[in-house]
Every structure is written in structure tokens, then in C-alpha cells.
Chain A
Amino acid sequence: MQAKVNVRRFNPDEERPKSYTQQFDVEVEEHFTVLDTLIKVREEIDGSLALRCSCRAAICGSCAMRVNGHAVLACKARVSQHLSDDGQVTVEPAGNQPVIKDLVVDLEPFWDKLRAVEPYLQPAMPEPEAEYLAPNEVMLHLVDVMGCIMCGACVSDCTVLEVDPNFLGPAALAKAYRFVADTRDEEDTKRLGIYNAYGGIWDCTRCGECVQACPKGVAPMDRIMALREKAVESGTPPGSYEGAQYGYRHSVAFEEIITHKGRLEETQLVVKTLGMFNLPKLLGMAPMALSAMFRRKMPPPITRAAPGVGQVRRLANRIRWNRLSKVE
């Protein structure tokens, strides 16, 4: 089978470096991964093609890159499944990170963000003589997060990082979750304080791209949501970061309104999130409110409780109870 591989290239050694696309015609076999294909290019056609790769088995995390616009591990992506009808596939460096050469990106910001979440176990002292006792279910749950190979595919496709490079990003926050969820770590309050800050858990927009991109099923966004839940449950104050305060109050208000009324009162949600006396922000919402009103889409400010609200409250209680026993 013939593949036309369009590779985005960039050579910093040139006098005025510019990125460009180069097409390689490669004979590929059915079982070839994108990585096999690129290695063939590098070994047989152009030895100057730069990419990182090592294990060929989706465990070392070196070869995250964009294939047809989405981040994948090149060693896990069958090339035949990515070929267009006319046999083309486009390979670009991972996104949201500066390119060093061809498909090699600068990972320094990636590691810096990892450092920022204090990514090491902080147990209560003193250590026991033997191992810490921990339920197998807790460990099995952590295996899924520990499956993260730090490839950065999630970071490549994160839509928040596109507009705000300060965001800690899905990989670092998934790592952060691993410690909060680890029963041996005793620094949850400090940690949640850090993760509540600007660039932390409240800045995720829940777009789901990281879940899609992760080759190991870590589902970083779900971990970020779990951290939010922990922050709210543990009553960790949202700190001075406005974004965290709104995010935090939004979650609390949402739950409050639903359990009270059995349905969502959107007007109330806005008021409770921004604060009753936060006039500047509330006024800032006015244009949207007016436009909704003109289109007759303005929800009524106060509604009656939904029929069967008792049922909703019982459900809410049961969820709270389950959560509590899970935390214990």
C-alpha cells in the first residue's frame, strides 16, 4: 500500500527558519503504525527528519504528535486508519508547544507545570516500618491515573492552553489528582489550595479534547472534575483567584438550586455565582439578559418547585451519602 505522508517540517539551523510541508511517498504494510512509517522515511529517504520515539509500544510517551489535526501516539496509530481516500496523511508536531525541529517540540514548559503541582507523595510523618496499608480498590483506581505516560497528547489538544498558556493543563492536573486520591498523601488541603489558584482546576472549560487525545485512557478532564469535587466537598476555600471563586460558587449554587427546586433556575444560578451585591459583574450580564428577553428566552426569575421535588432531594441525599462513604 502506498502512503503519501505530508510532514510539517522546520529546521532551526537555517538562516531564516520557516516551517513547510514536505510530502514523502512511502510503501507501507497493513500493520504499519504512523511511527513505523516515519521511521521508514527517516531510515530510507531522509535521515534529517527529526522526531522523538523509543519504545514502539505506547509506554515511553516519546512520540505524541498530531496526525490529521489531532494528537495521537504515533506508535499506537495504524497508518491505514488515517489515510484519506487518495492515500494521504498529515503529520505535524504536537500543538501548544514551541517547535524545536520538525516533529520535536520544546517540553520544558510541560515539565515546569508538572513541577508546579508538587508531584511527589507527601505523607504524614513518621513512616511506618512496613508498607502503608491501603485498600486494593484505591490502588486499582490510581493505576488508571498512573497509566499516564507524560506524552503530552492532552496538552497538545487542550483548547484552554491555546488561549491561556498559564493553564497548568490536563497532564499536570491529572498527576495532581493522583496525590489527592492517594490515601497515603496527607497534604490535600495545601494541594487543593495550589490547584485552586489561577491556571488551576477552575480554568478547565470541559471541552473534552484531552479525554479524546489521551492514548492511555487517563481521562484528564474527569480527574480535573474530581479535583473540583474534592475542593468543594472538603470546603477548601477558593482563595483569592476570582475564577476559582466563581467556579466554586457555581458548583455549590447549582447543587443547592437543584435540590431546592428540583429544576435549574438559571437566573438564580447567575446571581448566586456572581454574588447578590456584585453589581459590576451583574450589570455586565445585562446585555445578555436583554437579548434573551427580546428573543423570549429569558428564564423566569423565580419558579415553583418542580412536581416530585421530594424524589430529587432523596436522590441528592443518596449521592451525597455515597460520596461521603467513598471518601472515607
Chain B
Amino acid sequence: MYSHDVLVLGAGLAGMRAALEAARSGANVAMLSKVYPVRSHSNAAQGGINAALTDRGDDWHEHAYDTVKGSDFLGDQDAIEVMCREAGQELINLEHMGVIFNRDDEGRLGTRAFGGQRRARTFFVADITGQAILHVMYEQILKYNVRVYDEWYATTLITDHGRCGGVVAMEMRTGEVHAIRAKATILATGGLGRVFEPSTNALICTGDGMALAYRAGAPLMDMEMVQYHPTTLKGSGVLLSEGARGEGAYLINSRGERFMERYAPNMMELASRDVVSRAEITEINEGNDIDGCVLLDCRHLGRAKIMERLMYIHEVAMDLVGVDITKDPVPIRPGVHYQMGGIKTDVDGRCWDPAGNWKGVEGLFAAGETACVSVHGGNRLGANSLLDTVIFGRRSAEAAMDFAGANGHLEFSEDTWVGGEKASMQALLDNNGGGDLVAKLRLDMATAMDEGLGVYRTEEGMQQALNAVRGMKGRFKDVIVQDKGKAFNTNLIFALELGCMLDCAEAIAVGGIERKESRGAHSRLDYAARDDENWLKHILLYQGPGDQITKEYVPIVITQWQPEERKY
């Protein structure tokens, strides 16, 4: 059996940062990913990474306050403090690894402005920051010769009595199913954007890690907090970076007005994402739209600046909608972008509470978008996601190594676990009856979620979505996998991913119905105000017993910033 001290699932920025930390310490570490590491969705982070550098006269407390306010006071302030305090050093680490960041006139790291922050503290590489960091992180993985299970798909966590001891995974190239034993397992599997249609997310963002942890008994937290990004392309929903507005681009409606004047007179286009997305939907609903969209106008930035700093979105707009952003405004609308919620962890990535205040799975860690620490609360600030991945990727690796040092391997029967997974895959392959095709069922789910859990929500709409998703969970048992082969059976993988997405979708809808207030990205027409008296708390969801979902609440950690009215 394959055996490691630390096994990292997912090879995006959080996963690679974790694996790198473990490898540097000499631990027996491996990464497992359903795509080659540089294909991971961290690539798509365009705008930058936040850090308050003291030698620029910035202060991490300021960054932390902006993050707390951005989170609509749902973020845990102890975790936010950790992230913002450690940001500077981690940023310098990235530069030392070889990331090529844009510079100022003195050759030091340069900054750009970003949404929801009163200071320019976003460090960037043109508008390909995620890609530039991801590829450099992979360089380091190659340097330290980390073992990578490339194109393997994990189907279940191996657990016994609330302790995780590794995973069962399929090698996609051969279709063989294996158990991999690990003293500590880190989930760094990214987001779940494909639960919605459209979405900025890549086709691989299917909430696998969240579903795996949830099924294994770990709680999902604040799942209703799904971020709509204000500037996504019409149709495909592909992202156009907030960096555009950071560099000074305008949002205009069909009448040519910079409508943000009316919604966020101080910060204008650079208000928090939830605020801007709501403003856009309001404009669209009031008829100030052009074919369901508003416009992102970059023309006044000038060709030189656009080609230096926004070259990628220039390329994407040209390729996908045929608009040259140096010459014309481009139609955009809010689109699903990021899951603030996820697997509940502490500030060291643990998916269980050593103090016992909430239940979880021992030996299991999570970092990045799949986790909910929670540093983003109800709304993530732009350029805090890359920061989240590297800070909590590293910290979870440190804690995982400690855990692996203090604990042996979990004893389990390889045959039983592998046999069980093979049997459930075979059951899917054996479906030949009148079930749905995988893609059809996925689209039905994603459309229902888009309708019921959009930018504005109501009890009725969310309940409808939940009922629909529950119906689809029934239909899923009969889903048709057309490819019956072993080698590179992506059809089977999509079916397994769909199973994960349905679990996540249900949790999002349940969380949404449960939270009877409007906070951050969760805006309800039937509970329009924030309700600090009753809802200044996290919602934890546990799968079971049976088809039930068990809800629990955990108070928000407040260290120095009391909730106040949120204005931009």
C-alpha cells in the first residue's frame, strides 16, 4: 500500500504550499490531484495578493479591519489577525521563490488598489497573478522532488471512529483503485463553482473535498455564503479581474451613468464585491441594462496601461466576446465566483476541535477555498484568496506534521475500503435504464441553484431549489455513465463529481434557508437587514443521521472590532 506521513489532496496554491512546507522539513509527503498541478484553478486568480508591508507604511491591523468589515463581521477575527499579520512575510517568501511581481520605480514590489480596502496593498503580476504564483510554486515542488499522484481522483476518506487514515483514489490513466495510507490528510481541493451555472469557475471546481469531509463526519460551515463576482462575461461567465476597477475602470449602465455613485459614494467601483454585485442586479432589474448586463469601461485607461497590466482580460474579452477593451466597454454581470463557506477548521487547518466544542474528523486538515477558517465570513475581499491559500496551506502543513509525529497510522482493511469504492463505482457503471445523462443532471442542479440562490434570495426560492436538489439526489442513483471502460474514464469521474456537487448544493440551500437575515453575500428580500442579535454566529451542518442534516451554531470570534454599520 502507498504510505505517507502527510498526504495533500489538491495541488493548487494551498495544496502546493502545504506540500512544500512538509517537503522542506523532510517529511514523507505526497500530493494527489485530479489534474496536473499547474492546471489547478488558482491559475484563474488574476488581480493580486494582499499584504500590509510595514516598510511601505502600511499596518496589518488596517488590512485586518478591512477584511473584518468586508466579511460583514462574520469572519473570525483571531483567524483574520493571523492571516493579515503573517501576510508580509509570506509575500516576501513568494518573491524569494521566484515570483516576478510588478515593481515600483525603485525596483521594490509595486501595488495596485483593490475593492473594499482603503489602501493600495495588492501585489500583482499583470493580471495573471494566480498563474504566476502557481507556476513558481510548482517550480519549488519540482525542486524538492515532491511525490505527486498526477491525475488521480480521490473518492473517499478512509475513517474509523472519527479519525482519518488516508484516502481511496482512482488512478485515472488505468482506472485502477488504490488505498493510500496517511497519518495526516490535508484537503486543499478548492471550490465548488460548478454547483451553479453560469460560474467563473473551471470545470474541475466541483466541491470534492467538501463533500468528502462532510460524508466523513466533518462539519461544513457558512455554506450559504457564495460570492458573486461583479464582473463576469456575459454568456460563459468567465472572469474579468477586479484589477480592471483597481486600475480605474468604470461601471456604467445603459444610460452611461457611473451608477455606483448611488450605492457606494466613497468607494464607488471599489466597494466590496457583494455591494457592487447587488448594485448591478438592481440596475439590471430596474431596466438600466443592456441585454441583461451592465458595462465595464476601461477605455480611458489607455492602451499602454491595459496592455501592461490587464493584458489577460484584454485577450479573454477579445477571444470570447470579440470586444477590444481598449476601444469598447464590455458587457458584464455578476456571476458565481467563490465559496466563503467550507469545511470548518481552526487557524491551523484542523477539521476537529481538540477542545471538543464541535465535532469533526481527527487527522484531517483543510486549507484554501475548500476550508472555512473563517477569514472571509460573509464576503471575501478581492486578493485575499491567494493570501488565504498560502498562509493556511503552510499552517495546516505545520500542524499536520505535528500530528503525524505524535500519531501512528490508522489500522484499516485495504480490501474492504477499496472493494467498497469499486462496488459503488460499478453500480454507477451498471446503470443502463432510463436515468439522466450526467451533464443533464448537473445542468438541472446548477440552474436550480442559480435561480434559488442568486444575488437576492427568498425563503420560497431557496426552498424550491432545495426541493429540486433533493429530487435530483434521488435521480442521481440512476444516472447514466456512457463510458464503460477503465482507461481515462472522465465520464465516470464527472458522475462522481456530480455526487459531490449535489451534497454541496443541498448544504448551501439548507444554510441559506437557516440564516434568517441579510449579511455579506447572503441577501434576503424577506429578511433585508443584518441581525446581529440573533445571527452573529456560524452555521455548522453535519450530514446525518440518515438523510437528515444536523445544524449547530458556533459563536463568531471577536477580538477588537465590534460590529458596526457597513458603508462604502
Once A46-B482, A61-B38, A101-B488 are accepted as A-B contacts, the answer to whether A136 and B320 lie under 8 Å apart by CB is no
Which residues does chain A contribute within 8 Å of B126, judged by CB atoms?
143
**Which of A127-135, A232-240, A318-326 forms contacts with chain B?**
A127-135
**Which of B139-147, B215-223, B444-452, B556-564 forms contacts with chain A?**
B139-147
**Which of A1-9, A50-58, A242-250, A288-296 forms contacts with chain B?**
A50-58
Q: Does A190 contact B (CB under 8 A)?
A: no
Which residues does chain A contribute within 8 Å of B95, judged by CB atoms?
131-132
Whether the Cβ atoms of A149 and B131 lie closer than 8 Å is: yes
Within the complex, the shortest CB–CB distance from B287 to chain A, in Å, comes to 25
**Which of B103-111, B391-399, B504-512, B543-551 forms contacts with chain A?**
B103-111
Q: Measuring CB to CB, which residues of chain A are less than 8 angstroms from any residue of chain B?
A: 11-13, 31, 33, 42-44, 46-48, 50-62, 76, 78, 100-102, 104, 107, 111, 114-115, 119-121, 123, 127, 129-136, 139-140, 142-143, 146-150, 182, 184-185
Q: Does B411 contact A (CB under 8 A)?
A: no
Within the complex, the shortest CB–CB distance from A108 to chain B, in Å, comes to 9
Separation of A130 and B321 alpha carbons in the complex (Å): 42
Separation of A60 and B206 alpha carbons in the complex (Å): 16
Whether the Cβ atoms of A47 and B101 lie closer than 8 Å is: no
Which residues does chain B contribute within 8 Å of A143, judged by CB atoms?
100, 102, 125-126, 128, 132
Q: Which 3 A/B pairs are nearest by Cβ-Cβ distance?
A: A121-B98, A47-B482, A43-B439
Nearest B residue (CB) for A11:
B485
Nearest B residue (CB) for A62:
B39
Separation of A57 and B97 alpha carbons in the complex (Å): 27
Q: Does B203 contact A (CB under 8 A)?
A: yes
Max count, chain A CB within 10 A of own CB: residue among B92, B308, B321, B481: B92
Which residues does chain A contribute within 8 Å of B40, judged by CB atoms?
60
Whether the Cβ atoms of B485 and A54 lie closer than 8 Å is: no
- Contact with A62, one of B35, B131, B480, B486 (Cβ below 8 angstroms): B35
Whether the Cβ atoms of A136 and B104 lie closer than 8 Å is: yes
Whether the Cβ atoms of B139 and A119 lie closer than 8 Å is: yes
Q: Which B48-99 residues sit within 8 Å CB-CB of chain A?
A: 55, 92, 95-98
- Contact with A120, one of B106, B139, B312 (Cβ below 8 angstroms): B139
- Contact with A57, one of B204, B320, B437 (Cβ below 8 angstroms): B320
Nearest A residue (CB) for B490:
A50
Whether the Cβ atoms of B43 and A135 lie closer than 8 Å is: no
- Contact with B39, one of A60, A111, A119, A131 (Cβ below 8 angstroms): A60
Which residues does chain A contribute within 8 Å of B481, judged by CB atoms?
47
Which residues does chain B contribute within 8 Å of A104, judged by CB atoms?
488
Once A57-B44, A100-B487 are accepted as A-B contacts, the answer to whether A133 and B236 lie under 8 Å apart by CB is no
Q: Measuring CB to CB, which residues of chain B are less than 8 angstroms from any residue of chain A?
A: 35-36, 38-41, 43-44, 55, 92, 95-98, 100-110, 125-126, 128, 131-132, 135-136, 139-140, 142-143, 173, 202-204, 235-236, 238-239, 308, 312, 315-316, 319-322, 437-440, 480-491, 494
Whether the Cβ atoms of B312 and A59 lie closer than 8 Å is: yes
Within the complex, the shortest CB–CB distance from B510 to chain A, in Å, comes to 28
Which residues does chain B contribute within 8 Å of A42, judged by CB atoms?
439, 490-491
Interface of chain A, main secondary structure: loop
- Contact with A146, one of B125, B316, B482, B483 (Cβ below 8 angstroms): B125
Which residues does chain B contribute within 8 Å of A135, judged by CB atoms?
103, 107
Once A48-B483, A127-B96, A182-B100 are accepted as A-B contacts, the answer to whether A60 and B202 lie under 8 Å apart by CB is yes
Within the complex, the shortest CB–CB distance from A30 to chain B, in Å, comes to 10
Once A60-B202, A146-B125, A146-B132 are accepted as A-B contacts, the answer to whether A48 and B238 lie under 8 Å apart by CB is no
- Contact with B128, one of A62, A131, A146 (Cβ below 8 angstroms): A146
Which residues does chain A contribute within 8 Å of B484, judged by CB atoms?
48
Within the complex, the shortest CB–CB distance from A4 to chain B, in Å, comes to 21
Which residues does chain A contribute within 8 Å of B96, judged by CB atoms?
121, 123, 127, 131-132
Separation of A67 and B438 alpha carbons in the complex (Å): 27
Once A13-B487, A47-B437, A120-B139 are accepted as A-B contacts, the answer to whether A150 and B38 lie under 8 Å apart by CB is yes
Separation of A123 and B136 alpha carbons in the complex (Å): 14
Whether the Cβ atoms of B55 and A130 lie closer than 8 Å is: yes
Whether the Cβ atoms of A120 and B140 lie closer than 8 Å is: yes
Which residues does chain B contribute within 8 Å of A13, judged by CB atoms?
485-487
Starting from the known contacts A60-B39, A120-B97, A184-B98, 19 additional A-B residue pairs (CB-CB under 8 Å) come to: A47-B481, A54-B41, A54-B202, A56-B202, A56-B238, A57-B236, A58-B315, A59-B312, A60-B35, A78-B319, A100-B487, A115-B142, A119-B139, A120-B98, A135-B107, A136-B102, A139-B102, A140-B102, A150-B135
Once A62-B35, A101-B487 are accepted as A-B contacts, the answer to whether A131 and B236 lie under 8 Å apart by CB is no
Separation of A23 and B259 alpha carbons in the complex (Å): 50
Within the complex, the shortest CB–CB distance from B446 to chain A, in Å, comes to 13
Within the complex, the shortest CB–CB distance from A135 to chain B, in Å, comes to 5
Within the complex, the shortest CB–CB distance from B302 to chain A, in Å, comes to 16
- Contact with B92, one of A50, A100, A123, A130 (Cβ below 8 angstroms): A130
- Contact with A100, one of B35, B173, B315 (Cβ below 8 angstroms): B173
Nearest B residue (CB) for A145:
B100
Which residues does chain B contribute within 8 Å of A76, judged by CB atoms?
319
Once A57-B239, A184-B98 are accepted as A-B contacts, the answer to whether A47 and B483 lie under 8 Å apart by CB is yes
- Contact with B203, one of A54, A101, A132 (Cβ below 8 angstroms): A54
Whether the Cβ atoms of A55 and B55 lie closer than 8 Å is: no
Whether the Cβ atoms of B100 and A142 lie closer than 8 Å is: yes
Which residues does chain B contribute within 8 Å of A127, judged by CB atoms?
96
Within the complex, the shortest CB–CB distance from B100 to chain A, in Å, comes to 5
Separation of A139 and B109 alpha carbons in the complex (Å): 10
Which residues does chain B contribute within 8 Å of A101, judged by CB atoms?
487-488
Whether the Cβ atoms of B485 and A119 lie closer than 8 Å is: no
Separation of A100 and B126 alpha carbons in the complex (Å): 36
Nearest B residue (CB) for A134:
B107
Nearest A residue (CB) for B236:
A56
Whether the Cβ atoms of B202 and A136 lie closer than 8 Å is: no
Which residues does chain B contribute within 8 Å of A43, judged by CB atoms?
437-440
Which residues does chain B contribute within 8 Å of A44, judged by CB atoms?
437, 439
Separation of A167 and B83 alpha carbons in the complex (Å): 45
Separation of A176 and B486 alpha carbons in the complex (Å): 37
Nearest B residue (CB) for A123:
B96
Separation of A51 and B110 alpha carbons in the complex (Å): 39
